Amino acid sequence: MDRIDKILSNLGHGTRKEVKALLKKKKVEVDGVIATDSAMKVDPEKAVIKVSGDEINYRKYIYLVMNKPSGVVSATVDRNDETVIDLIDEQYRAFKPFPIGRLDKDTVGLLLITNDGELNHKLIAPKNHVDKVYYAEINKFIDASDINTFKKGVVIDDGYKCMPAELEVLTANENGSEVMVTIQEGKFHQVKRMFESVNKNVMFLRRVSFGPLKLDEDLVEGQCRELSEDEINLLKQV
């Protein structure tokens, strides 16, 4: 049981003060009865709550997938840059979500955003070996020895030996290569550092999948959508 003003405020219906005004204006209905007391205790899982006649969709957690654009940081707040949370709709921001893992400021693609701490923990734990697939453009020719080095585990600049990674070459010539790389970890700048350790540079990086989820082709950069129940369950099974 929670106060009705807290429930509605948490769901993005305004500040506590604004919700109080809604209640005063008799815009809120709980189980068919107009509610005016902001301290009224309600079980949001059971009660039918309506605001201005529309039934609210109560949930504790939200799960979003964003096609992250370049130039924004994967954080909840930042002093200098726009964050992925700044890009999402106020109705979702009210849930105080955060990104699952990080993509660099110049990396684009699939980023999960939620307020479910348990799922976050599970998905970023290295022991769970969640595959992350990236499309990358590289400044040089990628050859069989690079594929082999990635397969054996690249040793990056700080001496850390990465877990085996799969490198698939899509195109390759003297001007550069397009590749797909699959890793199971999420170290800082990991993909860029892996290529640097074979003397190559990542010119462009897009995450195209995370565990069982693939980046939607029609999700424009900067936009996000809610995950379906099935997608959430797939992630929980990881």
Q: Which is nearer to ligand URA, 44 or 176 (CB)?
A: 176
Tokens 């990236």 appear where? 134
DSSP string, 13-77: S--HHHHHHHHHTT-EEETTEE---TT-EE-TTTS-EEETTEEP---S--EEEEEEPTT-BSSS-
**Which two three-digit tokens encode residue 123?**
């998905």
Query: Is 209 strand, coil or helix?
Result: strand
Q: Which is nearer to ligand URA, 38 or 190 (CB)?
A: 190
Single out the residue of 22, 103, 215, 227 in contact with ligand URA (rule: CB under 6 A).
103
Count the neighbouring beta carbons within 10 Å of the beta carbon of residue 48.
Answer: 11
Q: Which of residues 13-52 bind ligand URA (CB under 6 A)?
A: none
* Active-site amino acid positions: 104
| Contact flag: residue 100 with ligand URA (CB under 6 A) | no
| Contact flag: residue 190 with ligand URA (CB under 6 A) | yes
Q: Pick the stretch among 26-34, 101-109, 161-169, 230-238 that binds ligand URA (CB under 6 A).
A: 101-109
Q: What are the two backbone dihedrals, phi and then psi, of residue 161, each rounded to the nearest 5 degrees?
A: -95, 115
Minimal distance, residue 174 CB to ligand URA, in Å = 24
**Cα–Cα distance for residue pair 55/71, rounded to 1 Å:** 37
Minimal distance, residue 26 CB to ligand URA, in Å = 50
Contacts with ligand URA by CB under 6 A: the residue count is: 8
Site residues for ligand URA per CB under 6 A: 103-104, 107, 189-192, 205
